[in-house]
């Protein structure tokens, strides 16, 4: 099977199956590392706790991107 045919066939799959294919391909390019995943989970838990406690304030995404775009305009 040629690559082009494989891509066409993958594109015809239901969205859930395409997500599985993409996830599998990405993992083959960049295999997950348990220690790094654990560290990211720790960071996410800490940040969530900071948000919930009011220690930090969330900034809406549109504000963040507007600020970025204004810097590079």
- Is the model more confident about 73 or about 2? 2
Report yes or no: 17 and 11 within 8 Å, Cβ to Cβ: no
Domain ranges for the chain, please list them: 1-31, 33-73
Angle at CA 64, nearest 5°, toward 61 and 69? 120
Provide the whole-model pTM: 0.54
> pLDDT of 1-41, one tens digit each?
899 999 999 999 999 999 999 999 999 999 989 999 999 99
Report yes or no: 25 and 31 within 8 Å, Cβ to Cβ: no
What was the pLDDT predicted at 3?
95
């Amino acid at each position: 099977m040629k690559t082009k045919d494989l891509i066409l066939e993958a594109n015809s799959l239901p969205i859930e199956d395409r997500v599985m294919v993409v996830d599998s391909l990405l993992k083959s390019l960049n295999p997950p590392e348990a220690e790094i995943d654990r560290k990211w989970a720790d960071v996410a838990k800490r940040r969530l706790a900071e948000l919930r406690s009011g220690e930090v304030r969330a900034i809406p995404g549109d504000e963040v991107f507007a600020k970025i775009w204004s810097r590079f305009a």
